[in-house]
Chains A and B, each alone.
Chain A
Amino acid sequence: MSIEEKDIREAWETVKKIEEEVGKAIIGQREVVRQVIIGLLSGGHILLEGAPGLGKTQLVKTLSRVLDLSFSRIQFTPDLMPADVIGTNIMVKDEEGNNRFEFHKGPVFSHLVLADEINRATPKTQSALLEAMQEATVTAFKISHQLPRPFMVMATQNPIEMEGTYPLPEAQLDRFLFKIDVKFPNLSELEDIVALTTSSREPDVQKVVDGEKILAIREMVKEIPIAQPVMSYALKAVMYTHPENTDSPDIAKKYIRFGASPRAAQSIVNSARVRALLEGRYNVSFDDIKYVAYPSLRHRIFMNYEGIAEGMDVDDLIKEILQIAEEQV
């Protein structure tokens, strides 16, 4: 792909605009917004985790307004069936009056899909999203249906109220590019949120980019070079999450049950490129890797009993692993 300087500059400006527009409706949460945009431009899906009322749904809705893309929201509940997500065949009469089956597309057939409280649905329904997220296709009654491009699933889950929930299995979690922790806003942010949401004025959010442009930026991002030591740093960070690896740090050996999959390495490298672009750079830096490593690894590292019992924070683990990996590059 041939890239011109103006293309890169234009992409950079577009991303900045998206950030600005989303920022109009979402008070604070700048890092969350940025990570969501990185996820979108990397072609991945995002799992947002946070307490209720932190604006997770609002964020996704705002994003869909900023991006000129179709949007659908699925509220996951225990009685939600796979067909409710992907769609189903229904019997219709044709012009000649004959009955025939016609595939009725489910809410997953949108550019942006908000899977709200994904852990409340049964594993069967959760799994209905697996193929959609990985292949961007849906197969119903032996017929595959292509999902629109760009396609992005943003799922939310509440980490506090776990009763009656079905935690996502490892395989499903691995399909998410990032797991973003949505933190409680600080005082000034809370003031702004209250001021904005309790007044009659609506934030004026403009559409700044369409699907084609996003796809073009995704392709462009792949061209951003990454130096060998930087790549090595990313790969080592992933390798060191594996307790069975002899070079892994002691903390990994002590607290980790399963390390990150190769998808984690892909996620880190791809998203680091996007982050470089967002920073206006033509190369990936160690900081980019460090920045994206947390959301990329957070949901891919599974702690053992000792780690859980000691209340080990997975972000602390990642921090230590990154530090050791950096020393060895």
Chain B
Amino acid sequence: MSEANKEILKSIRKARDRMHTELILEHTLKASVIALGIYLFLVLLSYFVPIYGVYSKGATLAGCIILSGFIVSLFMTPKDKAAAKVLDSKGLQERTLTALELLDDDSTIATLQRQDALKYLKTLNIKKEIKIKFPTILAMISGLLAISIIISGSIPNPMEEKAIEAFNVKKEISRQQKEVEEVIKRVENNNKLTREQKEEAKAALEELKKELSKAKDMKESSKALERTENKIEMLKQKYTDKELDKIIQEFSKNEVTKDLAETLKRGDTEKLKSDLQRTAEELKNLDQEELKELSQNLSQLAKTLEQNPELAGAFYELAQKMASGELGDLQNEINSLNEEISRLMENQDFSRAMEDVMESLRNAASQNQNQQGQGQGQNQGQSNGQGQGQGQSQSQGQSGSQPSGGAGEGTGQDGKTQGSQGTGTGIGNKQPSEKDVREYEKVFTPSLPGGEGEKSQLQGNKTHEGETKEYIVDKGIGIKGEMKPYNQVIGEYKERAFQSIEGRQIPKSLEDMVKDYFTSLED
């Protein structure tokens, strides 16, 4: 490149650098006006709409915008052509622009033109002609905006507390969502669950996630958690084998079989056989009366397990041996009992997994309560339709927080007197969880003895042992009961309603109306 060309380019770039400096100043200040404008707008908005940490957020945003403006302007270097145009506007009559285009042209006219351009460029004082103008107006606007923001900081914001609260709610819901995610993973990784069980549990949990994402406050998130807990509970009910519960309950009554009951509760199939062996050994130490009583109880248990003839048979055989006092070799009985009970325990895996899920949901909900500062409630639920008795009359009850429903009609006899007789409808109550601390409208809930929601005939002799409840009903219609918060019973009502309409021929729209009504009550 010739000296003339270098000189021309040098002059052009000198002009270009000055233009660039001015452009950087202008863009950065423009960006700061925009940034501070947005910042002030957010601050003002926070007086009407709760915005958490508006000053820090605004400052970060403003900083980012200003920095972006500065960085972008750094890369917006004016082109040589633009600089040449600016130089030409200082009276050079497009000499620079033409010279720039002719830099690679070696013709005489091009050389003459470049020399001519250079001659004029040398007479031009670029520093004087191309001044770097500081955008004073933009700087003043930025300053005013900054002062306004600072002043606004000293004015109390009535929305600040709401903003903090809303932020905490959002954070908490987010935490709950993460926990639900964890629970979903655990369900997914649980090898003991069948594909169908996993899918059902996951569907309920995914639904919960969706509801949580839509929840606007802790009340809504609590409701969502509660609803899901109910669904999980229903799933648990669906897959839980109640026969095992009957066995556990029966084993719990006797000192000799108490440990066995604990093993069953834990679901420890490996320990089951050794416990059975040990119990068989301990039977030998019982006196005749105790053996007889235990034998009767086992026989009675065998009767209640009629739906599982193998299991009932195993109990019955053991009871027979005990009744006849043949306690020498119980190996066969122990083996068959071990085999049948182990089979039942396999079905309990889902129940335990669901317990785990429910526990996690309860934890999430309880932390929810802590966040709200509402304290903790107590799991004070009690099942309805719960009955205990001895002798030949046994009814299965539910405990804990599980809702149970039952309707029963029965006649109890104690040999001499005619026992109470009644019919009624039992409603499975939904137990209030720890998070259920608010007041719900109370509704009348009939209380009835009974078991599993089916009619049952209570037979046998009434003794004075164990706990019994006796309800007197008029004309066979149960009217005894108590006032309970409706949220404890609505789940059952809803289920009943759904089952009821499914069995009837009613228009689809009406069916939906009924479903919507009950769903809205649940909400």
Interface of A with B (CB < 8 Å)?
A: 2-5, 8, 223-230, 279, 281-287
Contact = CB atoms under 8 A, between A and B. Distances in A.
B93 A282 contact: no
Contacts of A8: 109, 112
B101 interface: yes
Interface string B97-110: 11111100101111
A225 B93 contact: no
Given A225-B101, A227-B98, A229-B85, A283 B93 contact: yes
B108 A283 contact: no
B93 A287 contact: yes
Contact of B113 (A2, A225, A230): A225
Contacts of A3: 108-109, 112
Given A225-B101, A281-B116, A4 B94 contact: no
B95 interface: yes
Main secondary structure of the interface of B (DSSP, over half): helix
Interface residues of B, number: 21
B388 to A, nearest CB: 94
A30 B489 CA distance: 109
A281 B85 CA distance: 17
Of A224, A228, A282, A285, chain B has the most CB atoms within 10 Å of the CB of: A282
B85 A225 contact: no
Nearest to B114: A282
A285 B85 CA distance: 11
Given A225-B101, A227-B101, A229-B85, A282 B94 contact: no
B101 A4 contact: no
Contacts of B110: 225
Given A282-B98, A283-B95, A283-B98, 6 more contacts: A3-B109, A225-B110, A282-B109, A283-B113, A284-B94, A285-B94
Interface string B74-103: 000000010001001000011101111110
B97 to A, nearest CB: 4
Per CB-CB distance, the 10 closest pairs between chain A and chain B, nearest first, are A283-B98, A282-B113, A285-B93, A285-B94, A227-B98, A227-B97, A223-B109, A282-B116, A282-B112, A3-B108
B102 A225 contact: yes
Nearest to A329: B85
Contacts of B94: 227, 229-230, 283-286
30 contacts: A2-B108, A5-B112, A8-B109, A223-B109, A224-B109, A225-B105, A225-B110, A225-B113, A227-B94, A227-B97, A229-B81, A229-B94, A229-B97, A230-B98, A279-B93, A281-B93, A282-B95, A282-B98, A283-B94, A283-B95, A283-B98, A283-B99, A283-B116, A283-B117, A284-B94, A284-B98, A285-B93, A285-B94, A285-B95, A287-B93
Of B95, B97, B112, chain A has the most CB atoms within 10 Å of the CB of: B112
B98 to A, nearest CB: 4
Given A225-B102, A281-B116, A230 B97 contact: yes
Nearest to B94: A285
B101 A228 contact: yes
Contacts of B107: 223
Of A8, A225, A227, chain B has the most CB atoms within 10 Å of the CB of: A227
Of B85, B93, B109, chain A has the most CB atoms within 10 Å of the CB of: B109
A287 B97 CA distance: 14
A225 B109 contact: yes
Nearest to B109: A223
Contacts of A282: 95, 98, 109, 112-113, 116
A147 to B, nearest CB: 30
Of B85, B93, B99, B113, chain A has the most CB atoms within 10 Å of the CB of: B93
A224 B116 CA distance: 13
A20 to B, nearest CB: 23
Contacts of A226: 98
Of B81, B94, B100, B101, chain A has the most CB atoms within 10 Å of the CB of: B94
Given A283-B93, A283-B113, A225 B98 contact: yes
Contacts of A284: 94, 98
Nearest to B85: A229
A283 B113 CA distance: 7
A225 B94 CA distance: 11
Contacts of A5: 108, 112
Contacts of B81: 229
A228 B108 CA distance: 19
Nearest to A282: B113
Contacts of B105: 225
Of B85, B98, B101, B113, chain A has the most CB atoms within 10 Å of the CB of: B98
Contacts of B99: 283
A45 B116 CA distance: 32
A3 B113 CA distance: 12
A271 to B, nearest CB: 16
A226 B109 CA distance: 11
A5 B107 CA distance: 11
